[in-house]
Amino acid sequence: MAFKVIKPGLLALLQDLGRHGHQSIGLTTGGPMDEIAFRWGNALLDNDSNSAQIEITFGMLTLEAQAATSIAITGADLDATLNDKSLTPWQTYAIKKGDVLAFHQPVWGLRAYLAVKGGFLCEPTLGSVATVVREKIGGLTGKGDKLQKGDVLAYQTCHEHQQRSVPRLAIPHYGNKEIPVILGYQYQSFSALDRANFFSSDYVVSSHSDRMGYRLEGKAIHSELNGIISEGIAYGAIQIPKDGQPIVLLQDRQTIGGYPKIGCVTRVGGGILAQQKPGDRIQFTPITVDQAERERHLQMARLAQWR
């Protein structure tokens, strides 16, 4: 009643919606880099929205099913195959004992999500199975380990399968390079020229990007603030360090930081950003809090209607 890991791939992690309420002791939330894709995976299978899934970065993961179940694949197209037959993401598939499920390399996007009927069964650590490698917490062992060859990912056997797919209009467009940004309260500390440069320039995703934050390379901008007292870091905060190259802080971000912040990427925008590979180009676009809330409400309404 499990998937056995045959090949672990570059980075495959057990995730739920995150470990909340512990930032005061320095623990970050973790959770899926593309929350919308994660939520759709559970919705397709009528799972609880917090049911554990596998987040697969780049691919190269191979699993063998030990029992029948239903799965859903969402997020990036990592050229997935079932017994060497191609699979299309954003829909469900029936799995039989002995089936081999493999994720190869990205066709588009970077991170795919594998959900199983009822969710993967794993003992939570501080209320969550979210894997944070840097903090050595969560995951299959509770110690923040990524999946390894020979790991066994338990699930409940299921012989009933319902073929379902996500409506086309609800699937994020990962080719959209415009990342929405809510202006931050330190925005005024950047000159008019630097603000214009920030929103009119292309930025390239650095090879040093990870689940903690996306480092970007492009037109340098600078704040008039020489430094600030360290403060709590919100999801999506765009820090501007001394070299002027933006860093977008994401799921595994540190809990406090002392660099000026020009704004904050929205949850939807953060999900799109997390699907960009090193070398991809993006551009920031300003939006209001009202616009961000409407965007979020639309996404959640589509999920609620589905259920």
Q: What is the pLDDT of residues 265-283, one digit of tens each?
A: 999 999 999 999 999 999 9
Rg of the Cα atoms in the chain: 20
Asked if residue 286 has pLDDT above 80, the reply is yes
Among 132, 177, 173, 147, residue whose Cα is nearest residue 59: 147
- Cα dihedral: 228, 245, 26, 236 (round 10): 100
Average pLDDT over the chain reads 96
Interaxial angle between packed helices 289-306 and 35-44, expressed in degrees from 0 to 180 and rounded to the nearest 10: 20
Asked if residue 23 has pLDDT above 80, the reply is yes
Q: What is the pLDDT of residues 184-227, one digit of tens each?
A: 999 999 999 999 999 999 999 999 999 999 999 999 999 999 77
Q: What is the pLDDT of residues 80-112, one digit of tens each?
A: 999 999 999 999 999 999 999 999 999 999 999
Q: What percent of the chain lies above the pLDDT cut of 90?
A: 94
Residue 101: per-residue pLDDT: 98
Residue 306: per-residue pLDDT: 79
Thinking of the domain 178-306, which architecture would CATH place it in?
Answer: Beta Barrel (2.40)
Each domain of the chain, given as residue ranges in start order, spans 2-170, 178-306
Contact at 8 Å (CB) between 106 and 277?
Answer: yes
Distance CA 129, CA 146 (A): 12
- 0.95 surpassed by pTM: yes
